[in-house]
Amino acid sequence: MANDDMYDTYGSLDEVELFTDAVKRWDTGAMVKLPCYMQICYLAMFNFGNDLAYYDLKIHGLNLLSNIKNEVANNVLGYFEFFLFL
């Protein structure tokens, strides 16, 4: 997974803190401070989550956006905690 590699291999502490905060905010404005490679990962994750929520709402009548945002944030927090452990 790209996020795992980003946290384990490429990201500095400052960068992964910014990325983690941006994901928790779930706002494209939050990605402005990120390096280009992180902006790409962030926007892909943001768009996928929103597209998935749109599909579920359109097809099944379920608004799952808050659930999706929470799960993505929890996943990224796990990567961040592991990064700090290393």
> Long-range CB contacts (< 8 A, 24+ apart) of 2-6?
2/41, 2/44, 3/41, 3/45, 3/75, 3/76, 3/79, 4/79, 6/37, 6/38, 6/41
User: What are the tokens at 75?
Assistant: 């996943």
Q: Which amino acid is at 85?
A: F
Q: How do residues 61-74 score in pLDDT, each as one tens digit?
A: 999 999 999 999 99
User: What are the tokens at 71?
Assistant: 């799960």
Position 1 scores a pLDDT of 54
Domain ranges of the chain: 2-85
Q: How do residues 4-15 score in pLDDT, each as one tens digit?
A: 778 878 889 999
Mean pLDDT of the chain: 93
Tell me how far apart the alpha carbons of residues 10 and 12 are, in angstroms, rounded to a whole number: 7
Mean of the pLDDT values across residues 29-55? 95
Q: How do residues 30-39 score in pLDDT, each as one tens digit?
A: 999 999 999 9
